Amino acid sequence: MTEVAGRPGDGLAKMPTGIDGFDEMTGGGLPLKRTSLVVGGAGSGKTIFALQTLVNGARQWGEPGIFVAFEELSHQIVENAASFGWDLPALQKDKLFFLDARTSPDMVTAGSFDLAGLLASLGAKAEEMKARRIVFDSVHVLLALLDDPIAERRELYRIHDWLVQGPITGIITSRTQQNQPHLPTNQEFLQYMADCVVYLEHRMVDLVSIRGLRVLKYRGSAFAENEAPLIIGQEGIEVASFAQPLQQLSVSRERVSTGVPRLDAMLDGGLYRGSSTLITGAPGTAKSTLSGALALAACERGERVLYVSFDEPAAQIVRNLASVNIHLQSYRDSGLLLLEWARAEAKSAEAHLLTLRSLMRQHEPQTLIVDPLSALVKAGGSLPALGVAQRLHYLTKRANITLLMTSLLEDRDPTRETSVLQISTVADNWIHLSYLEQGGERNRTLSIVKARGIGHSNQLRELILGNEGLDLAEVYSAGGEVLLGSLRWEKERAETLEKQQLRAELERRRHDVELAEAEAEARLKAVQRRVEARRAELAALMEAQEEQELAWRQYTEDLVQRRTGTDRHSGGSEGE
């Protein structure tokens, strides 16, 4: 017999149901060898819950089980369950036994009626096949035939005592009252008799079918008390639960590109792998286009991408993105990109999450894009959609999948940054797109509201969509006013002309200075030449003066000699 420990401190052995989410809520499943009551209105999933618990016990843990049907015929139950792919005929060979216990009203009214004989037969069958799980389905049908509160209570306690004495874990299903939806029909004491009470609900919210599960009571064990969304999918029931927190996750330091280089620069290198990013904005602000850029960048890195749209069909998305140089068709053809479209209002938000999980298991993406996630509000209101958004966030965290979600604003005011789903605090990164109207134009802007662990830019940038793709332009601020589009272009053009005029004026003045310098240099050279000429004349005059002085001294000497009649050599003759 499969036995699991309950939550720390419970000390209560439990039988796992194998139903995703429910075992998390209860810390292991239903109480072992005790009686559990599953109640709910028509179509809430009581029979499926009980039968799936038997099937999972037989398949996963090899535990035989018995299904006692008081309302439907056993072959009808087997036929109805065929859509879940459980292959009940194969399990009926040695693991499952179905007993038709429908009782004729004539038999009940003919005399005293009790379940002693039925329970004796079940005991023998259980011992023969070593059954460890048993379901009494729609017991309210049998009890309604008794039409005696004392007899009803007696037979229910007879079932309860039979379960307590044996090694079998029992599940009883019953319908609820309309005026008291949490209580079984006319058998209020059932909830006091059972050790565990599970309430299933099926309601309509905004014309969308919503199912929920709540554990009302669990003797000897702690449990998650809040209602959890319930889905009946292709493989049976799944319960969405937050009972178990995220385990320690490995955090990546790798950066991935958004597909827009200047946005990567604003994010100091891109997004962290495995992070979640929320893009908000009014309709037409290019949320889908930015999502397409990220999808293309991931595909170009050779990564598998799952793109789920609740706005446009896949072919239309591919065509529209091609107009801004984002070409995805080749990656769809290669299987690298799986692009799916669904109408948000076609089913509940939880059903959409179930589809997303199935697609994630099938495609094993490294990048997931949901555009727009806010459309899930149409699928039953904002509260279920918020729960889906949070669980999707945790699913991708566990799998280290980079998640990109888009969301419409809560109203038409582009200055507001409140997302419809209120998940901006959950996302790691928040990019806000908006409009700025001025000069008869409406221009798109982009800003990064937050980016955990990233030193991001706090600047407002203009988002430009062109034939070459997406780009971000620096905004222009003049006198405290931000200018975009044509106004920015006109201002930049005026600045360019002003700079050109300034350069021309500088060039003219530079030329004037050079000309003045040339003229001054020419005049200086002319003066220098005149000075050199005068210096030469002066030197010639000085030389002539010296020659005249030399001639004059010679002349004077000759004159003196003539006057004295002496020869400069006569002294030599007299001495002889």
pLDDT in tens, 39-49: 998 889 999 99
Cis check: omega of the bond before 167, within 30 degrees of 0: no
Residue 500 lies in a domain: no
Angle, to 10 degrees, between the axis of helix 314-322 and the axis of helix 287-300?
A: 90
Q: 130 and 80: one domain? A: yes
Least confident of 250-264, 346-360, 448-462, 555-569: 555-569
Same domain, 303 and 447: yes
Over residues 203-261, the pLDDT tens digits come to 887 777 788 899 999 999 999 988 888 888 888 998 876 655 555 677 889 999 999 99
Residue 168 lies in a domain: yes
φ, ψ at 528 (rounded to 5°): -60, -40
What mean pLDDT comes out for the span 431-447?
84
Q: Give the pLDDT confidence of 389-428 residue by residue, as tens digits.
A: 888 888 898 889 999 999 887 555 544 555 555 677 788 9
Determine contact, residues 156/187, Cβ cutoff 8 Å. Answer: yes
Residue 155 lies in a domain: yes
- Residue 347 CB partners (closer than 8 Å, separation 6+): 208, 209, 379
- The answer on 399 and 289 residing in a single domain is yes
Q: Which of 455, 474, 493 is the last residue of a domain?
A: 474
Residues 211 and 347 in one domain: no
Query: What whole-number distance in Å separates Cα of residue 28 and Cα of residue 30?
Result: 7
Does residue 566 register a pLDDT over 60? no
Whole-angstrom Cα distance, residue 194 to residue 36? 5
Question: Final residue of a domain: which of 414, 442, 474?
Answer: 474
The answer to whether residue 517 is domain-embedded is: no
Are 35 and 176 part of one and the same domain? yes
| Domain assignment of residue 79, yes or no | yes
In a domain, 346, yes or no: yes
- Residue 255 CA to residue 264 CA, distance in Å, equals 9
> Rounded to whole angstroms, how far apart are CA atoms 405 and 386?
13
Query: Which run of H or of E encompasses 443?
Result: strand 441-451
Say if residue 232 is in the same domain as residue 275: no
Same domain, 287 and 211: no
Both 203 and 283 in one domain: the answer is no
* Residues 301 and 374 both lie in one domain: yes
pTM over 0.75: no
Between CA 360 and CA 307, with CA 206 as vertex, the angle to 5 degrees is 20
CATH number of the domain enclosing 469: 3.40.50.300
Same domain, 311 and 205: no
Q: Are residues 64 and 137 in the same domain?
A: yes
Task: Note whether 5 and 14 are within 8 A (CB).
Answer: yes
Sorted by sequence, the CB contacts under 8 Å of residue 172 that are 6+ apart come out as 35, 36, 37, 38, 135, 136, 139, 156, 159, 190, 194
528 occurs within a structural domain: no
Beta carbons of 344 and 311 less than 8 angstroms apart: no
To the nearest whole number, what is the mean pLDDT of the chain?
84
Residue 467: strand, helix, or coil: coil
The helix/strand/coil state of 405 is: strand
Q: Minimal CA–CA distance to 73: which of 96, 101, 42, 104?
A: 101
Q: Is residue 514 part of a domain?
A: no
> Which domain, by its residues, includes 156?
4-239
pLDDT in tens, 340-380: 998 877 777 777 887 888 899 899 999 999 998 877 776 65
* Number of folded domains that form the chain: 2
Q: Are residues 391 and 261 in the same domain?
A: yes
**CA 180 to CA 268: how far, in whole Å?**
58
| CB neighbours of residue 116 within 10 Å | 11
pLDDT of residue 573: 44
Least confident window among 114-118, 163-167, 432-436: 114-118
Domain end (from 458, 474, 490): 474
The mean pLDDT of 51-56, rounded to a whole number, is 96
